[in-house]
């Protein structure tokens, strides 16, 4: 079957070779819940997670104490820790290496930020509450029917049942598994399977372009005045959260320890108070409430991003500096609840999968500049209407910002746009168009 293409997309994605487009393969990750395990098996999983955290922290400490440490040095540290500590030897050797790789990922990203001169360097820290352990190609065995998995390292986790959808079952049968992670969440334990495969799908090209203004009153608003309202999952669950947090606070015992106190000689002294079972029940209940909000937010972001990229060939959005925006304590909770960053990540993801142009532009002056004549009209956040004294146009400020965002993105791509038509016109792009805070995403080779 011949692939159907769109002239506008071909013009954008193949003409302007000066744009550095990102091209890399995707590792497909599927998730399945681990069930039918005993309390001893789940306790063994917790021990494996704590051991992986221990090795990761030891690798970070070794890097702090020794200059010119490389990745191979961290691998050798894993061997030394296995000889010195018996519980570290129980963990599979490949899982120990994976923990050292996590430490090296934090170290290498810190070094890269130092070379770039970024403001916040992000010095590697010790982890206190790790929630996962990662195995490579050894330490686990999948059953023939792919309905159970056995972990065979020294912790003796044993066999656990796998519950997943049909798509995950199909991938387990036909794709090669590179890594397996055990993830602990508030509602149980999950297995993540990392497959060595690329995800590429056939996109449908319509010739449409869209510019998206991200906000709080309207989550997104495009140049055609189409608005999407955010459901505000955190605000809706606040009543339940407050009620559960109050119950947790009432059951908390200050200074309580999880175990009995003792002396080095082995003589047990007076028992120290422990947190009650009811406290831990409410704590887990509170975690499930937060987990539900997280999943609702992620699911909503995926569906919205998928619909936008599916129905448009070019998507332009503003690259907001969210870390700076949350410093406004009056809006910090609403900004965090909106999940703009997660939404933009999924826009980039689906743009790469469907071979479409997704551009992030700088948000500077997009709300103040007039989209009709370019005159700058300063306004506060409370002013929701853009009224230009120069050309006398009066439109919604979010629609005006979406028009400016779209113009910026198409200028980066070198395409002229007529707002009365969905078609684009080929142009010559300047090499200075890609400014700081602007990026283009696609899956086209340079």
pLDDT digits (tens, 9 = 90+) for 43-56: 999 999 999 999 99
Query: How high is the pLDDT of residue 11?
Result: 45
**Of 375 and 193, which is predicted with more confidence?**
193
Least confident of 10-24, 226-240, 364-378, 383-397: 10-24
- For residue 6, being part of any structural domain is answered with no
88 has pLDDT over 60: yes
* Residue 77 pLDDT level (bands cut at 50, 70, 90): very high
Distance CA 411, CA 443 (A): 20
Beta bridge pairs of residue 426? 415
Whether 382 is in a domain gets the answer yes
- Residue 180 in any domain: the answer is yes
CB 337 within 8 A of CB 241: no
Report how far residue 219's alpha carbon sits from residue 428's, in angstroms, rounded to the nearest whole number.
33
357 pLDDT exceeds 50?
yes
Q: With 80 as the cut, is the pLDDT of residue 440 above it?
A: no
Task: Read off the tokens for 196.
Answer: 């060595």
* Residue 25's pLDDT band (cuts 50, 70, 90): very low
Residue 324, token pair as written in the block: 């700076």
Closest to 338 in 3D by CA, of 352, 320, 353, 351: 320
Do 178 and 221 reside in the same domain of the chain?
no
Tell whether 191 and 215 lie within a shared domain: no
What is the arithmetic mean of pLDDT over 422-429? Answer: 44
Q: Is the sign of the CA dihedral 282, 288, 290, 292 positive or negative?
A: negative
What's residue 122's pLDDT? 85
> Do residues 223 and 173 both lie within one domain?
no
Domain boundary among 137, 166, 195: 195
Looking at the structure, tell me whether residues 103 and 225 fall in a common domain.
no
Same domain, 319 and 345: yes
431 or 166: which leads in pLDDT: 166
Residue 293 has pLDDT above 80, yes or no: yes
**Distances from the Cα of 415 to the Cαs of 9, 11, 104, 150, 410, in angstroms?**
10, 8, 42, 55, 5
Kindly state whether residues 94 and 135 are assigned to the same domain: yes
- As a whole number of angstroms, the distance between CA 429 and CA 406 comes to 15
Residue 186 lies in a domain: yes
Last residue of a domain, one of 134, 164, 195: 195
Whether residue 123 is found in the same domain as residue 79: yes
75-79, 283-287, 304-308, 384-388: least confident range: 384-388
Residue 148 vs residues 36, 89, 196, 436: alpha-carbon distances, Å: 10, 25, 20, 49
Residues 227 and 369 grouped into a single domain: yes
Helices (H) and strands (E) in the chain, counts: 13, 17
Are 90 and 219 found together in one domain? no
Residue 273 belongs to a domain: no
Residue 153 clears pLDDT 80, i.e. is over it: yes
Check if the beta carbon of residue 69 is closer than 8 Å to that of residue 59. no
Count of domains forming the chain: 2
* Structural domain boundaries enclosing 146: 28-195
Angle between the N-to-C axes of helices 238-251 and 277-311, in degrees from 0 to 180, rounded to the nearest 10 = 160
Domain contains 33: yes
115 and 38 in a common domain: yes
| Per-residue 3-state assignment (H helix, E strand, C coil) for 368-391 | CECCCCCCECCCCCCCCEEECCCC
End position of a domain, from candidates 168, 195, 222:
195
Q: In the predicted model, what is the mean pLDDT of residues 94-123? A: 90
**C-beta separation of 135 from 96 below 8 A:** no
For residues 169 and 230, state if they share a domain: no
Q: 308, 318, 320, 403: which is closest to 356 by C-alpha?
A: 308
8 inside domain: no
Q: What is the pLDDT of residue 53?
A: 95
Q: Are residues 407 and 383 in the same domain?
A: yes
pLDDT band at 438 (very low <50, low <70, confident <90, very high): low
* CA 222 to each of CA 32, 227, 274: distance values in angstroms, whole numbers, following the listed order: 37, 7, 55
Write the pLDDT tens digit of every residue in 170-189. Answer: 999 999 999 999 999 999 99
Parallel, antiparallel, or unpaired: how do β-strands 314-318 and 394-396 relate? unpaired
Report if residue 4 sits inside a domain: no
CB neighbour class for 175 (10 Å; exposed up to 12, middle 13-18, buried from 19): middle
């Amino acid at each position: 079957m011949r692939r159907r293409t769109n002239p506008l997309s071909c013009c954008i994605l193949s003409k302007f070779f000066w744009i550095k487009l990102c091209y890399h393969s995707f590792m497909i990750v599927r998730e399945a819940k681990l069930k039918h395990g005993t309390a001893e098996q789940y306790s063994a999983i917790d021990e494996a997670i704590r051991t992986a955290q221990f090795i990761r922290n030891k690798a970070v400490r070794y890097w702090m104490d020794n200059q010119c440490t490389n990745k191979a040095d961290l691998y050798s540290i894993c061997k030394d820790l296995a000889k010195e500590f018996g519980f570290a030897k129980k963990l599979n050797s490949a899982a120990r290496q994976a923990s050292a790789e996590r430490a090296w990922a934090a170290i290498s990203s810190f070094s890269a930020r130092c070379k770039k001169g970024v403001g916040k360097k992000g010095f590697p820290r010790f982890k206190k509450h790790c929630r996962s352990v990662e195995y490579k190609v050894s330490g686990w065995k999948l059953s023939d029917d792919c309905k159970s998995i056995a972990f065979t390292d020294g912790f003796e986790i044993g066999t656990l049942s796998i519950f997943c959808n049909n798509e995950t079952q199909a991938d387990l049968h036909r794709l090669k598994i590179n890594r397996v992670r055990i993830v602990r969440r508030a509602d149980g334990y999950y297995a993540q399977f990392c497959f060595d495969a690329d995800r590429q799908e056939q996109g449908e090209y319509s010739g449409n372009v869209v510019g998206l203004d991200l906000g709080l009153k309207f989550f997104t608003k495009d140049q055609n005045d189409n608005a999407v309202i955010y459901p505000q999952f955190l605000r809706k669950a606040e009543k339940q959260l407050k009620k559960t947090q109050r119950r947790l606070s009432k059951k908390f015992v200050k200074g309580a320890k999880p175990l009995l106190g003792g002396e080095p000689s082995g003589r047990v002294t007076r028992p120290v108070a422990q947190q009650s079972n009811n406290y831990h029940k409410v704590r887990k209940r509170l975690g499930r409430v937060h987990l539900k909000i997280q999943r609702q937010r992620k699911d909503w972001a995926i569906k919205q991003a998928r619909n936008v990229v599916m129905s448009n060939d070019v998507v332009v959005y503003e690259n907001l500096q969210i870390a700076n925006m949350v410093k406004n304590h009056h809006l910090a909770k609403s900004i965090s609840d909106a999940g703009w960053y997660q939404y933009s990540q999924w826009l980039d993801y689906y743009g790469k999968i469907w071979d479409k142009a997704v551009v992030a532009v700088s948000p500077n002056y997009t709300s103040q500049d007039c989209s009709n004549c370019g005159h700058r009209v300063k306004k506060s956040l409370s002013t929701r209407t853009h009224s230009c004294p120069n050309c006398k146009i009066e439109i919604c400020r979010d629609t005006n910002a979406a028009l400016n965002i779209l113009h910026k993105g198409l200028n980066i791509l070198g395409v002229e746009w007529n707002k009365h038509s969905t078609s684009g016109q080929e142009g010559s792009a300047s090499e200075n168009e890609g400014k700081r805070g602007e990026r283009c995403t696609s899956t086209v080779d340079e």
